[in-house]
Structure 1
């Protein structure tokens, strides 16, 4: 089967990409977590979801840097909870009756804190989770 690839910044605006994706059963949608957050109010129907990386934010922004300073252990007490919140939002955007498999390709899933992400995924009914 031939696939139609829609890639962020190359295939038009977000709404056009989602429209094209929804009408083509053999479609691949390549987007970033920022795209998903922007369109999180929509349910995006997919059979397979592949996440290249866990949604940890970059804290170069002065506001995030200042907020992180309030925590003794910035990574555990600030970064991980924010990443989990972003992760939940992304999964909710794709969690429909069509979703069968979720692939996590980020090796950080194997770190000690990866269990928080895995526990959430394992709570989802009818979805096979693959990570290495």
Structure 2
């Protein structure tokens, strides 16, 4: 997993500004210090090792971020397909509802026409009958 690393700028403002590590950093940053000559030979190895750890941590973090982004994009794609499917289904339901209403209105028109014809026939028959004696 990733370890917490701080930059010199972050750590110089902390409450432990006189820690031994900070004194060493300040001394090495000024090009000298009373640390002794044997530290110079190992500092390159330690620095390379630390850089390698930081690089590995960054690569691991980037991998986790990439996986998270890919998962997010896949979920977004799936959600988009589901929304399209839902929209298509809604349109299909609306078309079915419109067709049912059209058939209902056509049935109502047919019934009204039949009633009108029946009334017309009834009126015609009454007009053709001889008057009662």
**Rg bigger for which structure?**
2
TM-score of the aligned structures, taking structure 2 as reference length: 0.22
- Higher helix proportion, which one? 2
* Larger relative strand fraction: 1
So what's the TM-score if we normalise by structure 1? 0.23
